């Protein structure tokens, strides 16, 4: 969802995060990933204006998710 909001391909995210394309593809299908991989993806997406919303953090959002910062 975050990658789609930015209109990034898997290749775009892989290049910017320095995480392998296959690793990202597996993670997006629900396969677990190492903590440092998840952190690299999160840092990259946050640097591109993605805000991660925890469940209950924003009552208007309807639960956990992502949004682009203003």
Rounded distance, CA 22 to CA 14, Å? Answer: 9
| Helix (H) or strand (E) segment spanning residue 58 | none
Q: What is the dihedral of CA 62, 67, 43, 64, to 10 degrees?
A: 10
In tens, the pLDDT along 23-41 reads 999 999 999 999 999 999 9
| Domain encompassing residue 9 | 2-68
Mean residue pLDDT across the chain: 88
- Residue 66: band (very low, low, confident or very high) from pLDDT cuts 50, 70, 90: confident
CATH of the domain at 37: 1.10.260.40
Q: How many domains does the chain have?
A: 1
| pLDDT value for 58 | 54
Rounded distance, CA 25 to CA 39, Å? Answer: 16
The token duo for 1 is 């969802």
In tens, the pLDDT along 38-61 reads 999 999 999 999 998 877 655 565
Q: Report pTM.
A: 0.81
């Amino acid at each position: 969802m975050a990658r789609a909001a930015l209109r990034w391909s898997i290749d775009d995210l892989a290049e910017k995060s320095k995480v392998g394309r296959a690793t990202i593809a597996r993670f997006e299908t629900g396969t677990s990933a190492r903590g440092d991989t998840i952190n690299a993806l999160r840092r990259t997406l946050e640097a591109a204006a993605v805000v991660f919303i925890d469940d209950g953090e924003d009552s208007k959002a309807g639960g956990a998710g992502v949004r682009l910062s203003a």
